[in-house]
Amino acid sequence: MGPKHFLNFEKISNQEFVSIIERGIELKNSNETEKTLKGKILGLVFEQPSTRTRVSFEVGINNLGGSSIFLSGSELQLSRGEPISDTAKVLSSMLDVIVLRTDNHEKLEIFSQNSSVPIINGLTNSFHPCQIMADLMTFREVSKGKNLEKVCWIGDGNNVCNSYIEAAKLLNFELSIFCPKGYEPNANILESSKKFVSLATNKEDALRNADIVTTDVWTSMSSNTKLKDRKKIFKEFFVSPDDMKKAKDKSIFLHCLPAHRGEEITVDMLEDQSSKVWVQAENRMHIQKAILEYLLLD
């Protein structure tokens, strides 16, 4: 039996998902973190820029007593044509767990198939599961355990949106997506969770009764559409404090960051009382610690 990976939510049970979130909250509220991963070494293989994912994993593994090594894609022999499978075999012989951040999900699959240690998806063009874990930890924390019934997604049907679709099926909540025509989420992922997911034809329907309202930048790192064109296509797909009033009472606004004020959000959205974005960003660190424990502890 091979190592346990964290590539998306396909092989994670509802019980495992909830227990990781609960552990994240427990770690956050602990005055003194037990060194549960003492001696463990985390490798961070990043082919794309990162702020929150990199820092949260580096600080997280150190807090738990382990250490980390950062490996930029441009510094590895991958940049000179070494097969992904060869790199995976070598790195996994020296490390205990690896986070891979890449623009190609197929690379992540190949890497995990050739690794002898757990692989974590630090973001691909298809999924961003660590982000969704932090989002739903944030909701559970600020709502005092209230049941999540509906999430509203406004904007590009990108990798983060795809992970929300998987989470909707896993946790049995409604996901309403309001996106421009031609920018819908992956059709296969959408089909697999169609019972829980709908494509809204207007913003008001998407917002109605939502517990969480969330969005992302108009142009993702893996986008092949120029920003100038996207600004025209996405001009109506933004979130404002007025929009939040159309969602459920005490709904929260989330954004995976970085945010572009004046584009997918109004200039005042992050400072609105409904915004829990800074709590969400901090929670990346706590949930990463819980994910590492989930993969490395029996």
Give catalytic residue positions. Answer: 101, 128, 131, 216, 256, 284
Mean pLDDT (whole number) for 27-46: 95
Q: SS3 sequence, 158-189?
A: CHHHHHHHHHHHHHCCEEEEECCCCCCCCHHH
Tell whether 3 is covered by a domain.
Answer: no
123 shares its domain with 171: no
pLDDT in tens, 38-53: 999 999 999 999 999 9
Provide the percentage of residues in the chain whose pLDDT is more than 90: 90
pLDDT in tens, 260-285: 999 999 999 999 999 999 999 999 99
Provide the percentage of residues in the chain whose pLDDT is more than 70: 98
86 shares its domain with 210: no
Is the model's pTM score more than 0.85?
yes
189 shares its domain with 263: yes
Residue 37 reports pLDDT greater than 70: yes
Tell whether 85 is covered by a domain.
Answer: yes
106 shares its domain with 27: yes
Average pLDDT over the chain reads: 95
Tell whether 9 is covered by a domain.
Answer: no
30 shares its domain with 105: yes
267 shares its domain with 144: yes
CA-to-CA dists, residue 39 to 64, 208, 294, angstroms: 9, 49, 16
135 shares its domain with 271: yes
49 shares its domain with 107: yes
238 shares its domain with 145: yes
Tell whether 45 is covered by a domain.
Answer: yes
Work out the pLDDT band at 223, boundaries 50, 70, 90.
low
Task: Give residue 175's pLDDT.
Answer: 98
Task: Give residue 80's pLDDT.
Answer: 80
Tell whether 243 is covered by a domain.
Answer: yes
Judged on CB neighbours under 10 Å (0-12, 13-18, 19+), 244 is: buried
Residue 225 reports pLDDT greater than 70: no
152 shares its domain with 100: no
pLDDT in tens, 169-203: 999 999 999 999 999 999 999 999 999 999 999 99
Per the structure, the complete domain to which residue 38 belongs is given by: 14-127+281-296
Report the number of distinct structural domains present in the chain: 2
Alpha-carbon span 217 to 129, nearest angstrom: 17
Tell whether 79 is covered by a domain.
Answer: yes
Tell whether 110 is covered by a domain.
Answer: yes
Tell whether 216 is covered by a domain.
Answer: yes
pLDDT in tens, 152-162: 999 999 999 99
136 shares its domain with 259: yes
209 shares its domain with 288: no
Which CATH number does the domain housing residue 74 bear?
3.40.50.1370
